[in-house]
Structure 1
Amino acid sequence: MNVYKFIVLAFLFCIIYAKDEPRFLVYGTNVTVVVGRDAALTCKIENLQNYKVAWLRVDTQTILTIGPHVITKNHRVGVSHGDPQAWALILRDVRFSDRGYYMCQINTDPMITQTHHVQVFVPPDIVDSGSSGEVTVHEGDNVTLYCSASGTPQPTITWRREDSTEIRIEDQNVTKWSGVWLNITSVGRELNGAFLCIATNGVPPSVSKRILLHVLCAPSASMMQKMIGGYIGDTVLLRCRIEANPIPDVYWTHIDENKLTDHTKYQTSIISVSYKHTATLKINNISREDIGPYYCYAENSLGSTRDDVTLYTLVPTTVISSTNITEVIIEEPTTLITLHPYAELEMKEADPDIFSVEDNFVAILSRHQMQNLDLSPSS
């Protein structure tokens, strides 16, 4: 009988003793935090009694806290005990060096511990020193752009044009390209401009770097109209489209091939957007001396070119039919004007002192032809 009593008492003692021993209520946690923010690691303990809870940094074996007290001199470390069963280690303004394992420890005999892990994520950042800067290449050559980025997780790199136009890479036209390298073969002048290298890793914000690609090319010129007409005394604009890089020197000439300079008669201007330029010659108060061909010249260090436009005058009149006179022909619906060396004017509607039979760029139009004449710029 005494033996049975002893067994029962021993059993009850074990139950009571086991119940009073501290134990962890939850498992260790894996905490992910973005650099610069705060993180909390929590131990939940039952039956702590008079035992103490301590937090340690595993890799350095540094004691951070014991009970409610912070032991380390790191001012970013704190401890929270708002819940009677919870002991939380607080890491403020987390740095990348804070990543690693932390241990929650209870000073029982033997000691019991629980391990927690901190993963620190870092937003992407482009490494300027390891990435391409401004790049200059001749048209037709190959070019390689490189973009280096850091961050956790490792960022991915996406390339695109700043204006979102397509890029031809590996025999395909794409608006975006992934990879740290951007290889372009036989670069065309249309790629002159800015490329964006964009780094992302799921941690906002994404970042980008603007890389300028300068494609050097010899000038090409094209007049917006090959022939343009105007009335005596009017003002006309001659426009020349030019593609060139570097920016070209542009000038205009008339029949005598002398350069036209700015004054009350002529004004020149040029508007440049990237490698495209629009040169304009404004001719004021048109007279008979202004008719004829005009040449637009463009020159840079890689070459030179020119294109021409013919200015003719318009005279509203009635054409007199004669076997010796060839009238102006207007073909509909294209309103194509065929110019002839000269035409005789009806004196009642045109001043003989204005034009003579020696004028080679005079278009004589009837009132009906004037109404149907389309002088809008050609495309």
Structure 2
Amino acid sequence: MIALGAVLLTVVSLKFCVITEQLYFFEVLTLIVVFSGGEAAHAVKRFTGLYTGPYFDPTTATNITTQLGTHAYLPCKVKQLGNKSVSWIRKRDAHILTVDRYTFIADDRFQAFLVESTETWTLQVKYVQARDAGQYECQVSTEPKMSHFITLNVVVPKIEIVGEPDRFVKVGSKVELRCVITQALEEPAYIFWYHDGQRVLKYDKSAIDIQLEREAPETTISTLVIYYANPEDSGNYTCSPSNLDSSSVLLHVLNGEHPAAMQRGKNSASPIPGWSHLSVALGLAACTPPRFAIAFTLTLAMISELISY
């Protein structure tokens, strides 16, 4: 009886184990199906969401402002792009600039590249010119086409040398030429001065110096200082910042001369001395005795010479 009981107990235990394993397997299988279904549903939800295909990130910029001569970067963030292409088109002439990474314009200043981590197709415009300003279209090759427009604003800094275009100074005097650059988003990388085409170098600071200061967020001033001007310092001085236009002034170093006399001497359009007096004499001769006309003309000429000195 004891042996028979042991056998029956063993059989019951084995059946219980089999049933337990089946239940366990069923529970595990159920958990797997539920988990997989949930993940699959989550995955589908993550992929589709509100959109079933490509769409533009609503945070993408619509206005970009850059400075003349610098590089501009126009971003176009496209989500769920898949196998679609991204093109950049210049709106003013409908010129296709790029398609994906390929450039379709002869101007090599334009280039498109993808920043994969942010899903952003960026159009780069190197050494921006004033004519580059305007709207650009980022287009996705869906049916119908999807477009995102960005306006590029180009700021053109102003540059001038303060004062008259012709500067007159005496020998030995101190000269300061101030070149002011305003409306500049970025400070120039350098500002060179040229004297009659030759770059001015400040080897001897006791004779000449170049000072640079950033006066305001959008204003830079470069000052050329000549401590003791001499006749050799006369000539054209040009202020030339990086990637910007230049400005010039004419410096005249006088050795005892009067500026007005110097200007008259250089004016090729000035009348020949004596012609004005002769005209007066001819006019008077028509209505007065010749002797009076000649005397009046000679007097006028003498007064004119005295005034010129």
TM range, normalised to the smaller chain?
0.3 to 0.5
Write 1 or 2 for the structure with the bigger share of strand.
1
Calculate the TM-score normalised by the size of structure 1: 0.33
Higher relative contact order (CA 8 A, sep 6+): 2
Calculate the TM-score normalised by the size of structure 2: 0.40
